[in-house]
Amino acid sequence: MTETPLLTVSNLKQYYGTGKKRVRAVEDVSFTICPEETFALVGESGSGKTTVGRTIIRILPPKGGKILFGGKDISGKLSGEERKELSRKLQMIFQDPMSSLNPSEKAGDIIARGLDIHRLYSSRTERREKVLSIMKEVGLPEEAFDRYPSQFSGGQRQRIAIARALIMNPELLIADEPVSALDVSVRAQIINLLKELQRKRHIAMLFIAHDLALVRQISDRVGVMHEGKLIETGTAEKIFGHPSQPYTKKLLDSVPVLYPEDTGSSGTGEV
């Protein structure tokens, strides 16, 4: 690929705890993501995928290695201004929607949070309009604006989290299991939506998921993680068609399929 990457992660290391309790969560992970590209991280549960995401958005400072974002090294100490800048361009949808949403805030305010921080509106009306428009895009009804997180189903909460990230128009979206709590039809809607927004707004994406069929649908390249390491990286065609690592093969073989001998060709569009 000749394009300059938007994100370059090299030899990233991340540990939790110290001394005897130290867990090496991420070891020497390297990959790049180009503008508008979707790179998927798949693999073992507990292999460090979420940790990679959390380290890139700098919830955790890296214990080693380098992260270049838009040509800038963001792996060192960041000033408040730099952090703020980063928080606009880099958004993450977290794995556990319930725990990442403030229970005492209304859905509309949760979604507007980034707009508030960066003062991205000139009036209350504009703020509300921006929120309602993104809510509509992710399939939340208007009346959801004034409800609290506990008053939604799991899938609806996930949509709040997606709306909160998308409203910022990020350059890179880290999506950690963004649709796993949704029914397959809504999943398809959101994946179509993400693809469309990606084209329209040129968003690059780090997509973390266990649903491999979905990963096949959305990603350009795929990295497979196992025990903190990236054991295989390649185009989606390569990983799904000709995986080289035994663990990758095992992963693909374990996917439960709806119609076991299904070989494809199910058409496009809506039913």
Partner 1 sequence: MEDNNILEVHNLKISLPVREKRVMFIRGVDLSLPKGKILALVGESGSGKTLTARSLMSLLPKAARIESGEILLKSKTGDEPGTDLAKLSHARIVNTVNARRIGMVFQDPLTTLNPTMTVGKQLAEGYKVHEHRFAGEAKKRALELLASVGLPEPERCFKQYPHELSGGMRQRVIIAIALSLNPDILICDEPTTSLDVTIQARILELLKKLQAERQLSVLYITHDLGVVAEIADIIYVMYAGRIVEEGSRSDILYHPAHPYTWGLLSSVPDMSFKEERLISIPGTPPDLSSGLRGDPFAPRNAWALPEDFEEEPPMFRLSSTHAVRSRLYDGAHTPPPLPENLARRIGNRSSAAEKEERHD
Ligand X SMILES: Nc1ncnc2c1ncn2[C@@H]1O[C@H](COP(=O)(O)OP(=O)(O)OP(=O)(O)O)[C@@H](O)[C@H]1O
Positions that interact with ligand X (CB under 6 A) = 16-17, 23, 25, 45-51, 95, 150-156, 181
**Which of 150, 199, 201, 202: binder of partner 1 (CB under 8 A)?**
150
Cβ 265 to ligand X, closest distance in Å? 29
Cβ 120 to ligand X, closest distance in Å? 28
Contact 97, 165 (CB under 8 A): no
**Which of 96, 121, 169, 197: binder of partner 1 (CB under 8 A)?**
96
Residue 180, binding choice from partner 1, ligand X, Mg ion, none, Cβ under 5 to 8 Å by partner class: partner 1
Residue length of the chain: 271
**Which of 4, 102, 133, 153: binder of partner 1 (CB under 8 A)?**
153
**Which of 4, 102, 192, 245: binder of partner 1 (CB under 8 A)?**
192
Q: Does 234 bind partner 1 (CB under 8 A)?
A: no
Task: Return the SS3 of 163.
Answer: helix
Residue 2, binding choice from ligand X, Mg ion, partner 1, none, Cβ under 5 to 8 Å by partner class: none
Stretch that binds partner 1, among 1-9, 70-78, 167-175, 190-198 (CB under 8 A): 190-198
Residue 213, binding choice from ligand X, Mg ion, partner 1, none, Cβ under 5 to 8 Å by partner class: partner 1
Q: Does 16 bind partner 1 (CB under 8 A)?
A: yes
Task: Please list, in sequence order, all residues whose beta carbon lies within 8 angstroms of the beta carbon of residue 65, skipping any fewer than 6 positions away.
Answer: 9, 10, 11, 12, 13, 28, 29, 30, 75
- Amino acid identity, position 67: I
d(CA 185, CA 189): 6
Helices marked H in 119-228 — which ranges?
Answer: 124-137, 154-166, 184-201, 212-218
Helix (H) or strand (E) holding 23: strand 23-33
Cβ 155 to partner 1, closest distance in Å? 3
Cα Rg of the chain (Å, integer) = 19
Task: Please list, in sequence order, all residues whose beta carbon lies within 8 angstroms of the beta carbon of residue 74, skipping any fewer than 6 positions away.
Answer: 58, 67, 68, 82, 86
Task: Return the SS3 of 12.
Answer: strand
Stretch that binds Mg ion, among 34-42, 121-129, 150-158, 211-219 (CB under 5 A): 150-158
Contact 172, 205 (CB under 8 A): yes
Q: Does 241 bind Mg ion (CB under 5 A)?
A: no
Residue 160, binding choice from ligand X, Mg ion, partner 1, none, Cβ under 5 to 8 Å by partner class: none
**Which of 14, 32, 38, 50: binder of Mg ion (CB under 5 A)?**
50
Task: Return the SS3 of 267.
Answer: coil
Closest C-alpha to 230, from 39, 46, 15, 42: 42
Binding site for Mg ion (CB under 5 A): 50, 95, 154
Contacts with partner 1, residue ranges (CB under 8 A): 16-17, 23, 42-46, 50, 95-96, 98-99, 139, 141, 143, 146-147, 150-156, 177, 180-189, 191-192, 195, 210-214, 216-217, 236, 240, 250-252, 254-271
